[in-house]
Structure 1
Amino acid sequence: MADSRLQFVRMIAARAGALVMGVVASVIIARALPPEGRGTYYMAVTVGTAAMALGHLSVEQAQTAMWSDKASRASLEGNSVPLGLIVGAGAALAAMVAAAVFQGYANMPDLWLLATACAGVPLGVGVLYASNIAVLRDRPHVAALAPLAGAVVQCSCLAAVGLTGHLTVYTVVVVWSVSLAVSLAVLIGAGGVTVGRPRMGLARTTCGKGLRLHAGSAASYLLLRSDVFLLNALAGPRAVGIYTLAVTLAELSRLAVDVVAQITLPRQFGRDVDESAAVAARTVRLMVLLGAVSALTMVVAVSVLITPVYGAAYAEAAAFVAWLVPGILLLSAGRPVATFLLRFRSPWFVVLPSLTALAVNIGLNTVLIPAWGGVGCAIASTAAYTALVAVQVTSFVRMTGIPWRQLLPTASDTAQITGRLRRRPKELGMGRAQ
């Protein structure tokens, strides 16, 4: 238990540091670029991240599903980085072909800017595979340290260039790609993953298994980011610049929730169905409780600080955050349920809910963006996230027999967390005294 608390503290510190760096970077960008410029930068990066998400073949999910076979673990680990770079290179090439075809439509950035963003795609896919291996190896602190290092480099570079007054959209995209290279180097150098000689047979098996899950993964990504493409097409770069700042700030509220999900992931393996279901239920209760506190804190903080920190041009983002936070936190809190279904049910129990929620998201965004702009986009996203979690929880309840009420925190859960937080400073004080 002490080790788990120490891991939690270390990961919270690393994630908090990365998020602080991200916030500082977003302030530098917002102060240097108008909403239109920020929207153009974000669309270029979104094309890159879309290439990662749609082209990574869900290998990380296959790694998770295959990790129970202890004999394959070393080979899965050794394959992760080389396979990520190869798969990522293919995804980047496909993204550039698509960008060339659609250039001139839907307010897309120029090809040179998109090519710069796509240069980071192989690195990003390598980070994805390697980070997942680090978590499966029960080294989540290394998985948290890697984005922190990338964020520090990104923030430092932006600040250095910004002080000279030469921060441009292109510079911001270059720095983003460099930060991915730093994250991958830290994952390898800090022992999160070992790079080995690729085993092609296992690589084909892993990719094949991942592809069977990939429709759901791709749908999950599009569920999170299709709103940005639709908003860009229907409302233009300025709306994207403000809305994506709101998304960045709203996702800060996931800090504690995501750390809990990473720490508890290994506990769902090596157990039978009943034990794994019980672990998932307990984890969800904790994540819902932490998420509620995080949501309230974030909405209040953004409403007070958005104009003084980012400027009056971004004031609308506060309303967007208030609509986005509930859905984002519900989606995060449902991750243990999704992991359980991935282990014990057909992949379609993960794929179909994601496809359904994506359809809801696209339909609502198409209707609400022309009427309400960014607010409509935020409402549509939260409604779609809620629909996805509701379907996943329904499947979980039917399969396990656990009442849905056991997924909601109780007074005893609150008391238990409060007691641990009170004990932690005392333990740290005793450790220093010794």
Structure 2
Amino acid sequence: MRLSVIGCGYLGAVHAASMAKLGHEVVGIDIDQNRIDTLSAGQAPFYEPGLPEVLNEALASGRLRFSTDMASARDADVHFLCVGTPQKAGEYAADLTYVDSAIDALIPYLGEGALVVGKSTVPVGTAARLDIAIREAQPSAMLAWNPEFLREGFAVKDTLHPDRLVYGLPVGYAHTIAKAMLDEVYAATIKDGTPVVQTDFVTAELVKVAANSFLATKISFINAMAELCEITGGDVTQLADAIGHDKRIGRRFLNAGVGFGGGCLPKDIRAFMARAAELGASEPLSFLREVDAINERRRHRMVELTIEECGGSIRGKRIAVLGAAFKPDSDDVRNSPALDIAAALQAGGATVIVTDPQALDNAARVQPTLTYAKPIYEAVLNADAVLLLTEWSEYRELDPDSLAQLVRNRCILDGRNVLDPAVWRAAGWSYRALGRASANGALSLATV
């Protein structure tokens, strides 16, 4: 099929390259000339494993091209809307400026029977509003909503082999046509056995924000348990292992630590709360405020724990922070717990050196006053404390004996609960983690 992908940021670039790999003729459109030039040259503008290979294969095949001219979408049968919906400045609500601008720019080039497919995460009710605008301009054009469920670090896999496809379809005769067109777009994926969920606009919009809200809730739940474990002397990792054996609960997303970040979970749950308030339905989502608050508290607690381990003050201390990205296998530093903690430690008087395999350039743009070092040994040299805040594999596999030769003080704080405390303590390190007892034991209920 002939497809256009409007918006070539993280979602759009991956989607465009992946659709071309599936055999479609794709044009990616974006207003950012630098981004278009970078993609046209076969370079990914962000770090995503597997994307450069898929991108270059698609460009070499002739099935993929990029442009800043919306007129390039004129001949497409299906138009994927992949623009960002950031949080409004000073508000929880989502900013739909890019969505509305993209639709306004696309409408003059919609052919008869064209299908516009929304993939952006939007407040419930957005699709119905856009559907009216599209049909008023081109009565035979249709809208469907097909939310994305990409995980950074696994985006190509999640696009080519998703665990489900959700179709939010129009009513009436258009329902059948839109479904048939989406089935053709995803024919290879459906043939592989991917389940398809057919629903209406509203439910399709809610699926994405509901999924993100559930994941955020699960993460904050285990972090709430970590707070209790710190008070009572329990071990949150063992607790998570135990309850994770229950198939109704599962072990995934039960890793206690400094919490979630990135460009999706924080802003999506906030936008969900804001939209619920607009609809007069704040009460059902009131729990998300505590989910958000727990997540923010873990960052503050990590700073407190570092101060405790540094003898009550970090002023003048040299602290190494391992990780700047909000998660491993990504260079995304949006709402990164690691960077927030590093900045707070610096504000407290510490000299903070941050290292990360991929995210240092992005980190320096967000927090330019921090010190950055690409090699791990430079970051940890003469450190009074080492904080593991992004669980890159190279940090999980660090040798405590080798690292001990570089630091001033053998103190490590595991912000992701991914290291073996026994191994590090056996090498002479003071090991602390959120929700786990120190070597001397935590406060027990008998003393409370």
TM-score by length of structure 2 reads: 0.29
Where relative contact order (Cα < 8 A, 6+ residues apart) is larger, the structure is: 1
More helix by share: 1
TM-score by length of structure 1 reads: 0.30
More strand by share: 2
